Amino acid sequence: MNVGRLGAWRMLLSTRIRHGIGPFYFCLFSLNGKPASNWPEYLTNYELEPVQRRWNPEHTHSLVRDKLQFHQRCDQANLPTPVLLAAVGRVVAGNMSYPNAQTAKDLDLVLQSWTGSDFFLKHSGGAHGHGAFTLQRHAQAYEFGNTRGNADELFAYIQANLPDGECYLLQPRIRNHPDLGSVMSPTGLGTVRVVSLLRAGDVSILSACLRITVGANVTDNFSVGSAGNLTAPIDLDTGRLGVAVGSRTKHWPDMHTVALHPDTGMAIEGAVVPEWTAVKALTLRAHKAFPELGVIGWDIAITEAGPLLVEANHAWDINLLQVAHREGFRSRMVAALGMF
């Protein structure tokens, strides 16, 4: 729809006054290409926040926001998660099934005793992949953060990048299921974002999308397109992917559809998420292990050994779901969660 510069400004002004959607979200949701009658269906994360707090009270947030607490709850409920080798950089109280690596020597011992040589570290309280990095063990050194060093230098790097009160979670690096290889970059782990609702003891799935890694990105965070990754909708019945969406730039959401993965050249639309039935079953089982929260956004990795719960989110990014599905979710959210 070519409306010219004046027409574009009129549309932006109209969406701001009538729907509270400014230029950023106008571009993020690609409203220029949609009928004006559809615009009121779009929500922003800010608008959904009060509803999310009603379903997920503040005192419940640490259960999923603190990745160490989340992992411990999953262990207690016998839910599949990536192996946790150690908590690094902070003394963690309690009876743990994994060590606290409080010195370079402790960390070196853990890394040398593991059979694999590829690892992943992330902040216990991190979000959007901030602070996360990969680690490779070599014969005489470790490779991390675009550098190479010994155990002392690695531990110093960890301490320098660790926020106060947090620890790093050290895990073996997880790889995508081979059947996802055609729609993922070879370096990153892509996850399924599944949103589930617990009401009166019953769990239902509200929506799902796939976060698709691109280029050298290690994590799959979409971050309103600024991360350079893609997202695609998932049909809840079949696990089939729809058209992928991404931003042409990292500084402003210049959204466009993507037919072929930029790295593999393979078609994204029509691909089927492997283990999809198992993913849905795990989502239903996992939510019952977190009954304190009413609505959870799960990040689930699909590996050759089956799906793994990577993280859970009390605020689960309605922006991402609407961008992936290329439609507004207001009516759907009102029906599921109640009035705004």
pLDDT digits (tens, 9 = 90+) for 107-124: 999 999 999 999 999 999
Tell me the C-alpha to C-alpha distance, in Å, between residue 105 and each of 109, 115, 153: 6, 18, 11
Query: 99 with 89: CB under 8 angstroms?
Result: no
Give the pLDDT of residue 12: 64
- β partners of residue 133: 121
Cα 340 from Cα 333, distance rounded (Å): 9
Higher pLDDT, 36 or 330: 330
Query: 154 with 104: CB under 8 angstroms?
Result: yes
Give the pLDDT of residue 13: 64
Residues in Cβ contact with 159 at an 8 Å cutoff, skipping those fewer than 6 apart: 89
Query: 87 with 68: CB under 8 angstroms?
Result: yes
Confidence of residue 26 (pLDDT cuts 50, 70, 90): very high
Average pLDDT, the chain: 92
